[in-house]
Every structure is written in C-alpha cells, then in structure tokens.
Amino acid sequence: MVVRVFHRVSAVIPKTHEDAVSDALYDRTDAVSVAVGEIVEAAPLPKGLTTAEALFDAVPDLDRVRLALAAAGLDPVPELDLMEIADTDWVTASLRDLTELHAGRVHIYGSHHPRPLRDGRIALKIDAGLAFGTGHHETTQGVLLALDALARRTRPRRMLDVGTGTGVLAMAMARYFGRSVLATDIDEVAVAVARENARINGLSHMVRCATAPGMRHPAIAGGAPYDLIVANILARPLVALAGDITDALAPGGHVVLSGILGWQARWVTHAYASRGLVLVARVERGDWATLVLRRVQAARGV
C-alpha cells in the first residue's frame, strides 16, 4: 500500500447534480480523486441528496472548490468539510458500515467480514484504500450484472478495464471469463490499490495493472484490439473517448459503459452508434444506466 497523507473535502449535494459536480471538481480543482455518490454513510441522507468527496495531496484552496461547485450549478454552495487523512484512516473511513454485496454471481466483501463460504459465487475481497469503487455504487453493480450476462454467451480473449479504481471490475472480468485483463487508471495510487487487491485475491497473474492517462497510451494501445472493454467513468469522458474506445475494440467485441445517469444514456449511445456500435443491453440501477454495445463493423467517422 502506498503511504500518503491526503486532504479530503466533502459536501452534501443534490443527486441531480452528481455528474456536473464530479466534472467540475476534476476540471476546476487539483483533486487527485473524486467520488460522488459512492460513500456509504453512517446515517442515511435525506431523499434526493448524496455526498461528493474529493481527495487532494496538498492543502486545497477551498475558495476554488466553492467556485467549482458554483460552476456545477449549486446555489447556494453547500458547506464544505475538510479533513486530513492517512491511508490507514482512509481504509477505515471508506469501509465504515460497508455491507457485503451480491451482484450477479459476484460476492464482494471487506477485510472486516469473514470469508464467505464456497457456494459457486465469485468471491472478491476488496479494501478501497486510497482508491474509489468498492462495488457498492449503482454504476459498479450495473457493470457486474452486465458482465454476468455476457459471461453466459461470450468468450472474450483480450480484455481492458479503463478507470479501474480498486480493480473490482477487472478482477470480476478475470474470474468470469478465465482470461487475463489489463486494468488501467490515470491515478497511480488507484493502480497501486488495484494491484494489491489483485494480489490479495490471488489474481496477480491475471490482472495486469498500469497507469495510463489515455486510450492511446502504449500500455493500452499495445494490447489492442480488445474483445471486451469496460469503462466505468462518467458520461462526458465516455463521449470524448468514443472514437478511441471504438478503435481499440475488435469487430464483434463488446464495450460496457457506466457512470451514466439515466437521462444521459441516449447521448452516450449516439456517440458510439455513430461509430458502428449497436446497443445490445441496458442495465438500470437507481438513477444510473449501464450500456452494453457491440461493434458489428469497422469504425467510421462521425
């Protein structure tokens, strides 16, 4: 585990602004990681509200954070909570009140849970550490359900997980399909966490982790084309990456896209359909949609 001290800024925001807040915090601040709607609260928030958290590796400029939230359409800007945390504190905080999760054939549990019985499920032990994505957010659950369905009818050979976070999806892919997976993230801390989680689950030989700031990075481009690509990020970057992701996808291959609010699904679908992909499934969990598309012909320009 990478030993670092971070500064966490959190705020309670309307769920209707999740995507805008996440984009604004990434685009307008120096946050190294952002999580919106992924934090398990000790006490449930009122209906329609969720928590946005950003991690900084230096003391953040709170005025800049407030301006980012204002740019996301929050008026008034919510109260900010600032806390200094070390990696050991973050493990405890991120797993606070975390319950075990079943999604499809995947069973996710933390180090504070007893190892589940062998019942035919894919058991994955996940500690969030300094990365986000324990499998308990609707976007991750949607991908796991999509993978469960794909595993019953496809046998991809080359697989890629973009924005791997804790590595939970990459590990699920490796277990579902029995093939190696390239797990990438722009955050080197997330890559370190994913690599450690793969080791804990005995999957180091099947999950290769790499820091890659874009689809054209040699670590990703060198393994293309892929039969299955998973990208659980956000709608805007998914649209921006539509061309690169399509180019990296083999004919007949599938892409699973998540981090998409329901009302954004048509926008994202169009970006990929215009490049020769066909929507074959849509999984809805809460306010979020996961899209499964198949490339049936060579890519063409928009």
Question: Rounded to 5 degrees, what are φ and ψ at 286?
Answer: 60, -130
- For residue 114, the model assigns a pLDDT of 61
Domain boundary among 87, 115, 144: 87
Please count the structural domains in the chain: 2
Residue 85 is predicted with a pLDDT of: 73
Contact at 8 Å (CB) between 206 and 181?
A: yes
Question: Which residues have C-beta within 8 Å of that of residue 18, sequence separation ≥ 6?
Answer: 36, 37, 50, 52, 261, 287
111 in a structural domain:
no
263, part of any domain: yes
Annotation: binding site for S-adenosyl-L-methionine: 140, 163, 185, 232
Low-confidence ranges of the chain (pLDDT < 70): 1-4, 38-43, 86-100, 111-120, 127-136, 297-302
Asked if the structure places residue 103 within a domain, the reply is no
The answer to whether residues 58 and 139 belong to one domain is: no
Instruction: Output the pLDDT for position 130.
Output: 45
Q: Domain residues for 77?
A: 5-87
3-state secondary structure of 220: helix
Residue 243 sits in a domain of what CATH number?
3.40.50.150
| Binding positions | 140, 163, 185, 232
Q: Are residues 146 and 290 in the same domain?
A: yes
**What pLDDT is stored for residue 90 in this prediction?**
43
Q: Is residue 252 part of a domain?
A: yes
104 in a structural domain: no
DSSP letter (8 states) at residue 17: G
Domain end call among 52, 69, 87: 87
Nearest to 249 by CA among 218, 281, 268, 272: 272
pLDDT on residue 97: 43
